[in-house]
Amino acid sequence: MFGLTVNDHVMIAHSLPDEFFGPAQGVHGATLEVSATFARPSLDEHSVVLDIGEAMSLLDAALSPLRYANLDEHPDFTGKLSTTEAVAEYIGQRLAESLADRPEIGISIELRENPRAAITYTVPERA
């Protein structure tokens, strides 16, 4: 299996209005470090997983609707808690849509909101 990882970050605002989240219930900002890994069992005809420039452009496009957004007002998070896990799923699904013509490429996302913890999400149909 081969993998290509590209990264970026995105600054968001959101609230998590449930007692479970303690002080994060109120509106607060977060800077999320984002890594997207694209994988495939064998290289393509150019001996790559995916062109690095294309991978970076795809990640940028997936993050653009989130940049400086208040996720409490974002239409894709209406009625949902915008946890880090939910944001990772959102990014993964946007990337999967962008690569709909290349279903052989696996996609997984890692989001880091603090230096000591990260979450990962693998697009199920892209595992």
For the whole model, what pTM was predicted? 0.95
Q: What is the mean pLDDT of residues 100-125?
A: 96
Q: What angle do CA 5, 6, 9 make, to 5 degrees?
A: 135
What residues contact 66, with CB distance under 8 A and at least 6 apart? Answer: 10, 12, 74, 87, 90, 91
Q: Which residues pair with 8 in a beta bridge?
A: 34
pLDDT above 70: percentage of residues in the chain: 100
- Report the chain's mean pLDDT, rounded to a whole number: 96
CA 49, 115, 74, 63 torsion-angle sign: negative
Determine what percent of the chain is predicted with pLDDT higher than 90.
98
95-113 average pLDDT score: 97
pLDDT at 106 over 90: yes
Q: Say how far apart CA 118 and CA 105 lie, in whole Å.
A: 23
- Residue-wise pLDDT for 9-52, tens only, equals 999 999 999 999 999 999 999 999 999 999 999 999 999 999 99
127 has pLDDT over 90: no
Is residue 38 within 8 Å of 105, Cβ to Cβ? Answer: yes
Given pLDDT bands bounded at 50, 70 and 90, which one contains residue 126?
Answer: confident
